[in-house]
Amino acid sequence: MVGSPLSLEEIIGNVDDDELWYINYAVLNPNMPEDVLRKLKRVYVNGIATCVALNPSTPIEVLEELAKECPEYVAENPNVPLHLLESFVEKRLKEGVSSSIMSQIVSHQYRKSKIGTTIEDVLFSYDQFGRVVYGIILNPKVPGEVLEKLVNDPLSFIREKIAMHPNTPPDSLRKLAEEYPGYVAINPNTPPDLLRELAEEYPDSVAKNPNTPPDLLRELAEKCPGSVAKNPNTPPDLLRELAEKCPGYVAKNPNTPPDLLRELAKEYPNSVAQNPNTPSDVLQEMVQPLIREAEIEEIKYIMRMSDRVRGEMKKTSGREGEIEVQ
């Protein structure tokens, strides 16, 4: 009796563990063709379907199908459609976190040193929509309007992640600043007036924030020179002042003026070479010695070849002279 053919899921299930790694990586690769991703969308063995859910090239209709089975991974996909994210959030707001899950998390906080897991592990074990929310806040392209709805999530580490997310709206960051001021202080979306309030208690974080206004950076330069020297918003004249204290950081700052980069290139060539504002002639000077050395080597080679040719010519002419004498 002839048996039925093996399904794609059964075939993948029989693959050796050593080979599965590259298969998973291949399915995650955004260059994977869409038609292949469509074929793999129902292969749940060995995490293949979750890799399809995470792939930014997965078609929208496939993501909509996978949202029913593995929404936490679809939520993390940078190309997930807005209507799916909104549906995830609405369900989270409606259902919240059950008391049993909260008790598991609270008890875990007292036992974590013994069991060796994180709060995220507990959440992933007990709270499916908590996993979905976690996927949403890991998504680099999640819109601010979605994050705004999650600001009051009952889980503290969800709120903490939102305080760090660069897409969190300014008004939401104002609310979160009361609970997580340190994270809000470094968030690039934090408004300047709030950064001024946070600067006294969190000067180094504010000094690193690319949204910190130049006048506030001047105030922080004495207390946090290194962080100010690295900030791309630091004005050129202040970078000149900081070049004595933190020359290496100034050499990398894209706001450093070209003439100062020329000076710093002598002692900090690696940093200056990475600076997008470095003049082309300075970059050329860095490689010119190597080019010159290669040119000299080429000249030496030509001279050696010329000497050899002349030597061969002398030998040839000498033999011809001997023949004539004979």
- Residue 254 CB contacts under 8 Å (≥ 6 apart), including other chains: 232, 275, 276, 277
Q: How confident is the model at residue 1 (pLDDT cuts 50, 70, 90)?
A: very low
Span 191-207, pLDDT tens digits = 999 999 999 999 999 99
Q: What is the mean pLDDT of residues 51-58?
A: 94
Q: What is the DSSP letter of 298?
A: H
pLDDT at 293: 75
Question: Over 90: is that where the pLDDT of 242 sits?
Answer: yes
pLDDT above 90: residue 61: yes
Q: How confident is the model at residue 275 (pLDDT cuts 50, 70, 90)?
A: very high
For tokens 């690039």, name the residue.
188
- Which pair of structure tokens corresponds to residue 264? 């710093």
| pLDDT for res 96 | 65
Query: Is the confidence at residue 155, as pLDDT, over 90?
Result: no
* pLDDT for 110: 47
Per-residue pLDDT at 18: 62
The residue length of the chain stands at 326
Is 294 a residue whose pLDDT tops 80?
no
Average pLDDT over residues 7-22: 62
Q: CA–CA separation, 177 vs 104, rounded Å?
A: 27
Question: Tokens 């399915």, residue?
Answer: 27
Mean per-residue pLDDT of the chain? 83
pLDDT winner (highest mean) among 26-30, 174-178, 290-294:
174-178
Categorize the per-residue pLDDT at 139 as very low, low, confident or very high, splitting at 50, 70 and 90. Answer: very high
> For the residues 291-295, what does the mean pLDDT come to?
73
pLDDT tens across 96-119, in order? 655 555 555 555 554 444 445 565
Share of the chain above pLDDT 90, in %: 52
Out of 37-41, 254-258, 309-313, the most confident range is 254-258
> Which of 183-187, 207-211, 269-273 comes out lowest in average pLDDT?
269-273
- The answer to whether 144 and 169 have CB atoms below 8 angstroms apart is yes
Largest Cα–Cα distance in the chain?
117
Of 39-48, 122-131, 134-143, which one has max mean pLDDT?
134-143
- Nearest Cα neighbor of 251 from 281, 217, 276, 287 is 276
pTM assigned to the model = 0.71
Q: At 128, is the pLDDT very low, low, confident or very high (cuts 50, 70, 90)?
A: low
The amino acid that residue 263 corresponds to is E
